[in-house]
Amino acid sequence: MQTYPIGTVLSWGNARETAFRGDALQEMRDRGWILDFAEGQVVATAPLTRLFRGFQELFRQEVAGPLGFEEWTLPRLLPQKILRRFGSVEYAPGTLFEARYYSESHPGRSYFLDPVQSAGLYHALSKHPLPTDILPLKVFETLGGPQWRNEAPSELHGIDKLVEYLKMEHVYVGTPEQVTESRRIQKQTYERIFDELGLVYRVVVGAPCHSSPQNTARYEKAKTLDEVPLFDFELYIPSEDRWMEVCGACVEETENTEAFGITSTSGDVLWSGCSGVGLHRLAYAFLAQMGFDEKNYPELFLRHLPPVGAVQFSGRP
């Protein structure tokens, strides 16, 4: 029997009272903040994009910088072999979008649209043994563009369940002790950020992105909080009375360092871990709780929010 089954609530943050209880999704549509584009895709106009930029800068300045992450930019068109190594092709093929050359100029060559961000980094690191004195290597990535996940049409919803969406990714590679400590501090930092933002949230044992044997084994053997493979932060959506996963922080042990052949110059065993924050989901949860009046926004967010543009599109007739 698992000590920490998936879905176990580990902690709660802030009282379950929010400044706004209206339908944030409908309000965004009415205000012209989002425009429907295609199934599972939306256009974010200037006001919502401004919120995305604010959260990017908040996490860059309040999380990535203080915790020692350096910012990289990664490709989003991945050769098939990368996601085969990562396990997505074998254990989650239905979530993938395959990309091929339109003409026959390169027969047999095909790619996947990136569903995770971290896999591209692991592939890059496989070519370069890591000096011990730079460990743990911590990488923050958000500028490479959107990522893609093939969702059933019945699962698509608003801006929180899309096939194309934005995410901020944090990846850490180092010794087992370094990765465990990095994830522990990452979790504590998220708790502080969400507390200061005044957001209603909870921390739960999260489900993995795919169920490889290594993933399953980590859940079975976890006896302490540090051994829990994945912490998910869920934010409350008051108008729908539901909790929505917004970010997570995981320890992958050797699953990906071994799969990609990531090594250190000293020969030490290396682990990896990652933490993704969904920008569309975070913005939606923030608006669902805080509403659209900036007078209700916390100072922590306001000081990272860029100025309003001179002209703003309105979807109102």
Q: Return the pLDDT at 109.
A: 76
- pLDDT for 152 beyond 70: yes
Can you tell me the mean pLDDT for 222-233? Answer: 97
Confidence of residue 106 (pLDDT cuts 50, 70, 90): low
Per-residue model confidence as pLDDT tens digits over 71-83: 999 999 999 999 9
pLDDT in the model for residue 209:
84
State the Cα–Cα distance between residues 183 and 264, nearest whole angstrom: 20
Q: Look at residue 107 and tell me whether its pLDDT is greater than 90.
A: no
**Residue 312 pLDDT greater than 80, yes or no:** no
What does the DSSP assignment read for 135-171?
PSEEEEE-TT--EE----GGG-BTTTB-SEE-EEEEE
In this prediction the pTM is: 0.94
pLDDT bin (cut points 50, 70, 90) of residue 309 is confident
| pLDDT confidence of residue 313 | 63
What pLDDT is attached to residue 120?
97
**pLDDT-derived band at 127, boundaries 50, 70, 90:** confident
39 CB-contact burial (10 Å; exposed 0-12 / middle 13-18 / buried 19+): exposed
pLDDT in tens, 176-185: 999 999 999 9
DSSP 304: T
Give mean pLDDT, residues 14-21.
85
pLDDT value at position 178?
99
Assign domain 9-76+115-301 to a CATH class. alpha beta
**C-beta neighbour count of 234 within 10 angstroms:** 21
Give the C-alpha separation, 113 to 96, whole Å. Answer: 7
Average pLDDT over residues 198-203: 97
The domains of the chain are located at 9-76+115-301
Mean pLDDT for the stretch of residues 228-235: 98
Q: How far is the C-alpha of 229 from the C-alpha of 218, rounded, in Å?
A: 6
Cα diameter, the chain: 65
Identify the pLDDT of residue 316. 58
Tell me: pLDDT of 295 over 60: yes
Q: How far apart are CA 56 and CA 114, in angstroms?
A: 20
The pLDDT confidence band at residue 314, using thresholds 50, 70 and 90, is low
pLDDT value at residue 62: 98
